[in-house]
Amino acid sequence: MERSEARSMVISRQGIVATSQTLASQAGAQVLARGGSAIDAAIAANAVLGVVEPMSNGIGGDLFALYWEAETGQLTGLNASGWAPAGLDIAFLQAKGIVTTPPDGIHSVTVPGCVDGWEKLHQRFGGMAWAELFRPAIYYAENGFPVTEIIADTWQKSICGSSAPATGDIFRNPALGRALELIARDGPEAMYRGPIGESIVATSKRLGGAMAPADLSEYSSEWVEPISTEYRGWTIYEIPPSSQGIAALEMLNLMERFPLGDAADADALHVKIEAQKLAYADLQRYVADPRYAKVPVGGLLSKKYAAERAALIDSKRALSGPRPGSPLAGAGDTIYLAVVDSAGNIASLIQSIYHSFGSGVYVDDWGFHLHNRGALFEMDATHPNALAGRKRPFHTIIPAFMERGSTHIGFGIMGGLNQAQAHAQFVANIVDHGMNIQGALEAPRFTKLNFGGCDVLMESRVPAETRAALEARGHEIEVMGAFSGSMGGGQAVLHDSESGVNYGASSPRKDGAAVPEAPDFWG
């Protein structure tokens, strides 16, 4: 057999859990084996990831999820991103002499939505007792775990020369274990109205922040309707704004206007890169919290608008600074995990504290850091994403789902602004280039982590002759490693509703794996 991917898919009639760290995948698979649902396994795995990959996620961050019910075919979305404290606005920062949104520190902190999101998902789709879901995470927090390779490298780079655990070192976090025990016992009450929340407010007050008890106690995550587009016979779904998923769909609408041919072909890559620039120009201009700004979702996703924007793509020349269009409104660090259970239900879940160790603000006594999502607000009061109290910032993290006929795929790829463009490339790898989900995750990618310009990062596995042809069109390519972390790791699961067979895949850009649920061989 000749193939380009380095590893096989995991294929099973039982459930599969795919995460960025194998201990988390294993914990989720054990939850499935004990009769838990896809959501139960996702919560358990996410809680473990907060322990074993603390620079990327945890109870101090936000969460988004898509959940597909096999029996009904219903896809449900949850936005568990937190709002800014009521007292945190442009005037508050300006009074302190701050003229740009802080990239870290207490003034970048918004309310963490993760724990409330876990409860909402569990109440609606869970089956196992809430407290049981946290046993694996509490175990690793109290007893320790060996730090894995990529996590150890990221940890070392994150703390700027301070002592960080090396690969294989045993790391314990008993303070986080105590926090998880409280959450297991009392639910979100512990986080938003109890001892953990009290420490968040006290920490903020000590550092001069704006967080007040009511900012936590009045917070609630929100069920949302997924947005979608049709791409060459497939339906692709994303979470709606305030997240960037709409940019992935706009990219696909633009890419659909062109034949893409071979994945490594310069013409195909040129179209994808140009589609990214046009979609991201709109992303920067229009996407914000829809409770505070009118986001033209219908216009951005219309095929007519895609045709207008696609006309700006010159097959021979790279765009250096595309401007946002005029759509009419019509009718960092992160973890992503995907779970499919034996019934075929799929959880597509992403959770993050944004930059490595988030805001850098450690919550007194409880072993975790608060995220810095407030860094993504704008200080321009006229911008849709302007900082305001009780407003959610523009968000980068996005879970995704795609389906055609009996094939249903939950997928996601991490990495800040990398995510929407990586989603579009993953979809093209499956739909246009005939790859399976493992090959689609592994395939060499490009990414552009800023707005404007012709610069683009590209993995070295893209052939040299292809890169030369792109450079001749004006693309300024920085060649990265073969499996560069800048391209973001990812996971995917697939359920074939005709055969009942499940498939799982995990990107080699992370430490994780897809782990199948074990049948009860001895029962």
Residue range 474-514, pLDDT digits in tens: 999 999 999 999 999 999 999 999 999 999 999 999 999 99
**In a 3-state reduction of DSSP, which class is residue 408?**
strand
Put the strands of the sheet holding 446-447 in their side by side order: 446-447, 455-459, 476-480
Cα distance between residue 138 and residue 269, in whole Å = 45
Clarify whether 229 is annotated catalytic.
no
What pLDDT does residue 97 have?
A: 96
Q: Is pLDDT at 358 greater than 70 in this prediction?
A: yes
Residue 86 DSSP one-character state: T
What pLDDT does residue 332 have?
A: 59
Residue 4 domain flag: no
What pLDDT does residue 186 have?
A: 98
- Report the chain's C-alpha Rg in angstroms: 22
Cα distance between residue 306 and residue 298, in whole Å = 12
Strands annotated E in 27-162? 62-68, 75-80, 145-146
Residues 51 and 133 in one domain: yes
Residue 399 domain flag: no
What pLDDT does residue 330 have?
A: 36
Residue 501 DSSP one-character state: -
Residue 476 tokens, joined: 């300024």
Cα distance between residue 133 and residue 115, in whole Å = 13
The H or E element spanning position 118 is helix 114-125
Cα distance between residue 296 and residue 326, in whole Å = 9
Q: Pick the catalytic residue from 154, 334, 447, 466.
A: 334
Residue range 380-397, pLDDT digits in tens: 999 999 999 999 999 999
Residue range 109-128, pLDDT digits in tens: 999 999 999 999 999 999 99
Residue 44 domain flag: yes
Whole-model pTM? 0.96
Angle at the Cα of 449 from the Cα atoms of 423 and 246, rounded to 5 degrees: 40
Q: Is pLDDT at 81 greater than 90 in this prediction?
A: yes
- Nearest Cα residue to 494 out of 336, 340, 337, 335: 340
Residues 363 and 293 in one domain: no
Q: Is pLDDT at 79 greater than 80 in this prediction?
A: yes
Domain span including residue 458? 224-233+246-332+415-493
Residue pair 446/273 in contact (Cβ under 8 Å)? The answer is yes
Q: Is pLDDT at 374 greater than 70 in this prediction?
A: yes
Q: What is the 3-state secondary structure (H, E, C) of 307-369?
A: HHHHCCCECCECCCCCCCCCCCCCCCEEEEEEEECCCCCEEEEEEEEECCCCCCCECCCCCCE
Strands 476-480 and 455-459: parallel
Residues in Cβ contact with 483 at an 8 Å cutoff, skipping those fewer than 6 apart: 442, 459, 507, 508, 509
Residues 320 and 354 in one domain: no
228 phi/psi in degrees, rounded to 5: -155, 165
**Section 180-184 average pLDDT:** 98
Residue range 288-347, pLDDT digits in tens: 999 999 999 999 999 999 999 999 999 999 988 787 776 754 335 789 999 999 999 999
Residues 29 and 126 in one domain: yes
Instruction: Describe the chain by its helix, strand, coil percentages, rounded to 5.
Output: 35, 20, 45
Residues 294 and 350 in one domain: no
Residue pair 81/90 in contact (Cβ under 8 Å)? The answer is no
Residue range 237-260, pLDDT digits in tens: 999 999 999 999 999 999 999 999
Counting the structural domains of the chain, the total is 2
**Section 89-108 average pLDDT:** 97
Residue pair 363/371 in contact (Cβ under 8 Å)? The answer is no
Residue range 45-76, pLDDT digits in tens: 999 999 999 999 999 999 999 999 999 999 99
* Number of continuous H segments (helices) and E segments (strands) in the chain: 17, 19
**Section 156-183 average pLDDT:** 92
Residue 518 domain flag: no
What pLDDT does residue 327 have?
A: 72
Cα distance between residue 317 and residue 470, in whole Å = 9
Residues 316 and 461 in one domain: yes
Residue 516 tokens, joined: 């199948």
Residue range 425-463, pLDDT digits in tens: 999 999 999 999 999 999 999 999 888 889 999 999 999
Residues 287 and 343 in one domain: no
Residue pair 321/278 in contact (Cβ under 8 Å)? The answer is no
- Nearest Cα residue to 302 out of 359, 232, 397, 230: 230
Cα 363 from chain centroid (whole Å): 23
Residue 89 tokens, joined: 């606005």
Residues 179 and 199 in one domain: yes
We report the CATH number of the domain holding residue 428 as 1.10.246.130
Residue range 256-282, pLDDT digits in tens: 999 998 888 999 999 999 999 999 999
Residue 47 domain flag: yes
Residues 369 and 462 in one domain: no
Residue 116 tokens, joined: 């409330």
What pLDDT does residue 523 have?
A: 78
Residue 522 domain flag: no
Residue 402 domain flag: no
Last residue of a domain, one of 376, 404, 439: 376
* Share of residues in the chain with pLDDT > 70 (%): 98
* Share of residues in the chain with pLDDT > 90 (%): 92
**302-308 CB contacts, 8 Å cutoff, 24+ apart:** 302/327, 302/328, 302/330, 303/253, 305/253, 306/250, 306/253, 306/254, 306/256, 306/257, 307/257
Residues 279 and 342 in one domain: no
Residues 338 and 310 in one domain: no
Residue 124 tokens, joined: 């609606």
Residue 250 domain flag: yes
Residue range 115-163, pLDDT digits in tens: 999 999 999 999 999 999 999 999 999 999 999 999 999 999 888 656 8
**In a 3-state reduction of DSSP, which class is residue 141?**
helix
Residues 90 and 160 in one domain: yes
Question: In the structure, what pLDDT confidence band is assigned to residue 522 with cuts at 50, 70 and 90?
Answer: confident
